[in-house]
Amino acid sequence: MHLRHGLARWWVLLGICAAAIAWLVVGGLASNIVYFRTASEAQADRVHDATHVFRLAGAVVPNSVQAVADGVDFQLTDGHVTIPVHHRGDPPELFRPGAPVVVEGHWDSPASSAFFASDRILIKHGSEYSPPPVPGQNAPANAGQANATQAARR
C-alpha cells in the first residue's frame, strides 16, 4: 500500500510536467515566436492590425523624449520608419535616448496618423559588455538619463 501510494505521486508529478510543457509551448511559445515587429513591419501591417496588441521594437529617437501627465511621449525608429509612441506610466530605469527598446501596446486608433499606445517598455540590450569610460561612473547611462530628464523638462 505504501508503495502504491508512492507510485501515484510520481505519475502525478509526470502529469504536471507534461501539462506545464504543453502550456508553455502552446500557450506561450506558439503565439510569441515572433516576439516583436520592427517599425517598418508594424507600419505595413497597420490596417490589418487595427488596435490589436503586439510588440514593437526600435531605438528611442534622441531628443524626442517628453514627459507628459500620465507617462512619456517619444519617437521610435528602425532607421527607415519612425513611429510616435505614448507610454502610460514610468519608463524603466535604463530607458534613455538611443536605447533599443520593445514596447507592448497597440495603435491608438485605426487612423493612419495614430500613435502607438504603449503600456510596457522593455529594454533590449545587446550582448556587448564594457566598463564605463570614466572608472567608477556610469557615464553613458547617466548622461543618457540626464538628457532624457532635460528633454522631459523642456
Partner 1 sequence: MTDPGFVVAGYTITALVITAYAASLRARMRRADPTRSLRNRDG
Partner 2 sequence: MTGWRSRLGQLTDLATVGALGTLGYLALVVAPPDAVQGDAQRLMYLHVPVAWLAYLSFGVTALASLLYLVPATRSLRWDLLAGASAEIGVVFTGLTILLGSIWARPVWGVWWTWDARLVTTAVLFFLFLGYLALRQVPAAPHVRARRAAVAGLVAVTDVPVVHLSVIWWRTLHQQPTVLNPELNPQIHGVMATTLLWGVVAFTLLYVTLLRHRYRLAGLEEQREELLLHQAVLERRGIAADPLVPVLSDAQSLPDTQTLSEAQR
Residue 24 binds which entry of partner 2, partner 1, none, CB below 5-8 Å type-dependent:
partner 2
Nearer to partner 2, 84 or 140 (CB): 140
Return the residue of 5, 33, 112, 113 that touches partner 2, per CB under 8 A: 33
Q: How many whole angstroms separate alpha carbon 86 and alpha carbon 90?
A: 11
From the number of C-beta atoms within 10 Å of its C-beta (0-12, 13-18, 19+), residue 49 rates as: middle
For partner 1, the closer CB: 141 or 152: 141
DSSP, collapsed to helix, strand or coil, labels residue 70 as coil
Q: Given the complex with partner 2, which of 113 and 131 has the nearer CB atom? A: 131
Q: Which of 117, 123, 126, 7 is nearest to 70 (CA)?
A: 117
How many other C-beta atoms can be found within 10 angstroms of the C-beta atom of residue 4? 8
Spell out, one character per residue from 83 to 122, where the chain touches partner 2: x when CB under 8 A holds, - when not. ---------xxxx------x-----------------xxx
Stretch binding partner 2 (CB under 8 A), from 26-34, 65-73, 76-84, 145-153: 26-34
Grid cell, residue 52, equals 490589436
Of 100-139, binders to partner 1 (CB under 8 A) are 138
